[in-house]
Amino acid sequence: MKYIAYGSNMVQEQMAFRCPDARLIGTGYIAGARLEFYLHATVEKTGDQRNRVPVAVWEINDRDERSLDRYEGYPSYYIKERWPVHMSDGSQIEGMIYIMKMIRQSPPHSAYYKGIEDAYRKLGLRSQINTILKPALERSLQRGTHW
């Protein structure tokens, strides 16, 4: 199964711990969505195809999925959907993605955010830190309490 990660599960070391059998397929983006932080990361559909969220795509097995379900608090905190991804090699795939169900008006912890920022760098998404990641953090800080 293809799993679409846009937050802390982009971090290869964390995925190795949570899902030892997971294999990184590559990176890409989701069109028509925006990254948001409500304590943790989520994506929200915008309808505007110019809005994009960078993602890492993993191949996971059933055991890995059960592990992620527990970690993500499925089905109370996050739900699962199937979304298309435009891969960096030009192909398009569909995969499972977790979408936040329980919204909390609070910015992310600095270590959580830093981990995602580091993952962007390691995955070659450095240019999207200023255009996607930091604006999501700024929107979160405007909505909730400050760091």
Whole-number pLDDT of residue 144: 73
**Domains in the chain: ranges and CATH:** 2-125 (3.10.490.10)
Whole-number pLDDT of residue 145: 62
Q: How far is CA 5 from CA 58, 60, 112, 144, in A?
A: 8, 12, 14, 24
pTM for the whole thing? 0.95
- The sign of the CA dihedral 70, 62, 108, 30 is negative
Whole-number pLDDT of residue 146: 53
Whole-number pLDDT of residue 95: 98
Structural contact between residues 105 and 143, judged by C-beta atoms closer than 8 angstroms: yes
Q: What is the pLDDT of residues 78-112, one digit of tens each?
A: 999 999 999 999 999 999 999 999 998 899 999 99
Separation between Cα atoms, residue 92 and residue 28, nearest integer Å = 9
- Cα 114 to its chain centre, rounded Å, is 14
Q: What is the pLDDT of residues 118-146, one digit of tens each?
A: 999 999 999 999 999 999 999 999 987 65
Whole-number pLDDT of residue 129: 98
Whole-number pLDDT of residue 100: 98
Q: What is the pLDDT of residues 29-80, one digit of tens each?
A: 999 999 999 999 999 999 999 999 999 999 999 999 999 999 999 999 999 9
SS3 79: strand
One-letter amino acid identity for 45? Answer: K
